[in-house]
Structure 1
Amino acid sequence: MNRKRALPFALLLAGLMLAPPAASAAETLEERVIRLEKELAELKTLVGRKPSAPSPIAAAPAAPAAPAANPAPPTGIAVTTSSGVRAQLYGFARLDASYDTGQIYPGNIALWAQPENGADSDGEWNLTAGATRLGINLSGPDSENLKLSGNIELDFLGGGTENNLNPRLRHGYLKAYWPASDFSIIAGQTWDLVSSLIPFVDDPGMMWASGNIGTRHPQLRLTKGFAVGEKNRLEIAAAASRTIGEKNSLGIDTGKDADMPTVQGRIALSAPLSDSGKPATIAMSGHYGQEEWDSNKLNHHETIDSWSCNVELSIPLGRKFILAGEYFTGSNLDDYWGGVFQGVNAKGAKPEGIRSSGGWAALRYAYSPAVTISLGGGFDDPENGDLSGMENPRTFNRSLFAAYVNQLTPNFVFGLQLSKWDTGYLNTPDSDAVRAQSSMTYRF
């Protein structure tokens, strides 16, 4: 049997093997033949077509993996389920190695320099595979007016011992999109709306606690796009998200105990500024939520606001350079990695929110399609007056970085980053450290 004639039979055999359990007794022979022919056609389509790129959210250079500076990852492994949903498996195995001239918290990722406590220049090594990631992009089946998609993504930065790490849910959401009206609904866990840019760093810490705020929360999000002129686009989004508070003296989650979810919003304008093909974007975002701090079991409590106002800017400077940055100000921001991860001062007569402001800026240079070089820095500056009475609180945190990322092959990526960290403390001397960090990533 020649190859051309053998291929349909091989595909039919594969279809039989991948098909769901045997049809019910009510299925006629004709119906079974029609169903198998349909599955055969789908398998032929999968064999003959070029894979499509992952969805923007799934392929986004999120924290522990390939940052925005990296080229797009290879296309994942795609299959079609019996219900007609297309599932695309993707991910990578990654090793991060770093050496610190002083102690940096928590170690596997960089957030701030620890107090020296008399141990000046106490260097540390860190090796971890916790940023290894596994994800599934979901899409379809679509109707004439509605497009369905979703994403489920895990990594292994959820704690545990270094050689027995816990899985952690990064994303788990569905998206319903109506193209005709440029309107979408997202339900599940994904990135916050506030300060939505991602710094051009290779370190999995993403400059959290040193100028970058915003993480991932369970949420219900509505987004509406508007055409402004011929090439510009305005996007307005709002979300109700889960508030994750601290444990109060009664052991109650103060965010869950609040009377309302956190409300997030963002408005963004994108417009082309050059022939680079990449639009410039300016956006404003913010959030408001509450935490309920119970003082006893008689419902006596204090309500602590959590809020932020944020500005973000991304500007392509020709075809090879991108300048990006964010600025934030707000209060009780530990749930968003602001305030150097300090949200509420509960040591006074009553708990009070800690105010903070900060931001980051970075410049990325695309030396070639596979090589990028980035420079940048950030700062987070809590109000010192809000820290009184706390045990050795952090009064500021600053970082500078230089990152080099090389996609040696479509599947093998090497990253190198040098960063300087300076952290202030209210009751002990300021601390600083230099980190040399590298990564090796095998994508699929």
Structure 2
Amino acid sequence: MQRLPGLLILALAVLPLSAAGAAEGTEIEWYGKFKLDAAYDTAQPSHTNFAMWVKEHADGDAQDVTNITARESRLGFRLKREEVRGLLEFDFYGGGAENKNLLQLRKAYVDLPLGGLRLRAGQDSDLISPLVAATLNYTVVWGNGNIGYRRPQIRLYQQAGAIWWGVALARNISPDLDGNGIADGDDGLPSLQARLALSTDIGGRSLQLGASGHYGRAEIATGGGDSYSSWSANGEAKLQLAAGATLLGEVYIGSNVGTYFGSIVNTNSIEGLASLGGWINLQLPAGDTHSLSLGAGLDTVDEDDLIGVAGARSSDLIIFGNLQRVLAPGVKGGVEIAWLTTDYPNAGVGRESKPTDLRLQFSVIGSF
């Protein structure tokens, strides 16, 4: 762990030299943000520094909690040389003590022309369900109807007028399904992702519509090579409204999408874990210094696929709203209120089957 900061410092020191040497003509653009999040929850959230669902607890025994973190602070740079692009980005959710955070690789890819197409190779966001809700909560409605994360991939895509299309081969990532302490997910083929989107206008307002999906297969590491499938079909829409407002949202249906932050992040199942969900977000500018975001998300899992599974979650709802204000050039402050409720169909006697959490979050964000 002590080697990581040294390696990062070395990389930062070498970059200007490489730009002046072998990569003559390379432009480097640094970017990032410093972010403090302070949150109060009336019940224990899924994680200490962010909330995806409400933890199960005894009847009438919800425990409130306060967390303060700077882990979502981010550092990255973009590279440009003729038609070639590159990006490297980190945050601090890579583990470690709360005052000694470790780096987490978010994105690392090169993007280059390939005939009339473009090729992107490295780690990037999933091709599926690309829209993002405007939340102060780190997880942008993951586990509440928004699916898609980041993973290593090879992507081929094209913007042809109003049409955008792309396909990607991505790494299969899976937890330990059979309880033998070995992470499963190996397969002879990577998962396949695809997306098609159309940009148009309606009544003079820009409208983006898209459809995407993925299919992957993973094998149990031992025990005869049993396999399971993961798939999703997704829809998206983004509409520009009057006065600079934006309305956007997504829906999905799928099976075994826990590693894509669907299925309320229940563990995947060989027999299949069917789920569906979606989210909606209204983003409103309020003058030159304020912005407002209102939204909701819901993820549901077929309870028949959860029979006998202790701690399984069958429904997860979030309703949120936040207000952000410019405090100084490049610095914003924000307050967010969110209400979360989670269904536990197999809750034991004396356990709350539908715990709720009222979350109040305050953030300060300095961007560069």
Match of 1:254 in 2: 184
Give 2:263's match in structure 1, choosing from 321, 326, 339: 339
Alignment of 1:85-164 (within 5 A): 85-118=26-59, 120-140=61-81, 142=82, 147-164=83-100
Higher relative contact order (CA 8 A, sep 6+): 2
Give 2:120's match in structure 1, choosing from 171, 180, 186: 186
Deviation at 1:389, TM superposition (A): 2.1
Give 1:221's match in structure 2, choosing from 155, 158, 166: 155
Q: Using the alignment, how far apart are the partners of 1:316 and 1:81 within structure 2?
A: 43
- Cα root mean square deviation, aligned: 1.8
Q: In the alignment, residue 158 of structure 1 is paired with which amino acid?
A: G
Give 1:168's match in structure 2, choosing from 88, 92, 104: 104
1:415 aligns with 2:334: yes
Deviation at 1:404, TM superposition (A): 0.9
Q: Using the alignment, how far apart are the partners of 1:364 and 1:236 within structure 2?
A: 26
Give 2:216's match in structure 1, choosing from 272, 275, 289: 289
Q: Using the alignment, how far apart are the partners of 2:60 and 2:95 within structure 1?
A: 26
Deviation at 1:388, TM superposition (A): 1.4
Match of 1:280 in 2: 207
Deviation at 1:119, TM superposition (A): 5.4
Structure 1 alignment gaps of length 5 or more: 1-17, 22-79, 228-232, 346-350
Aligned residue pairs, count: 346
What secondary structure sits across from 1:319 in the alignment? Answer: helix
Contact 1:249 1:295 in 2 (8 A): no
Q: Using the alignment, how far apart are the partners of 1:133 and 1:88 within structure 2?
A: 14
For normalisation by structure 2, the TM-score amounts to: 0.90
Give 1:385's match in structure 2, choosing from 287, 296, 304: 304
Match of 1:47 in 2: none
Instruction: Name the larger-Rg structure.
Output: 1
- Report % sequence identity: 32
1:209 aligns with 2:143: yes
Contact 2:307 2:346 in 1 (8 A): no
1:243 aligns with 2:172: yes
Contact 1:87 1:137 in 2 (8 A): yes
Structure 2 alignment gaps of length 5 or more: 1-14, 348-352
Match of 1:316 in 2: 240
Deviation at 1:280, TM superposition (A): 1.3
Q: In the alignment, residue 137 of structure 1 is paired with which amino acid?
A: R
Match of 1:329 in 2: 253
Contact 1:81 1:87 in 2 (8 A): no
Contact 1:202 1:405 in 2 (8 A): no
Deviation at 1:384, TM superposition (A): 0.4
Give 1:401's match in structure 2, choosing from 311, 316, 320: 320
Contact 2:308 2:346 in 1 (8 A): no
Deviation at 1:438, TM superposition (A): 1.2
1:305-333 deviation digits (Å, cap 9, x = unpaired):
00000000000112321111100000000
Contact 1:320 1:367 in 2 (8 A): no
What secondary structure sits across from 1:127 in the alignment? Answer: strand
Deviation at 1:274, TM superposition (A): 5.2
Contact 1:100 1:434 in 2 (8 A): yes
Q: Using the alignment, how far apart are the partners of 2:87 and 2:17 within structure 1?
A: 23
For normalisation by structure 1, the TM-score amounts to: 0.75
What secondary structure sits across from 2:304 in the alignment? Answer: helix
What secondary structure sits across from 1:352 in the alignment? Answer: coil
1:124-170 deviation digits (Å, cap 9, x = unpaired):
10100100111011111x1xxxx111110000011111111110000
Match of 2:4 in 1: none
Match of 1:424 in 2: 343
Contact 2:56 2:311 in 1 (8 A): no
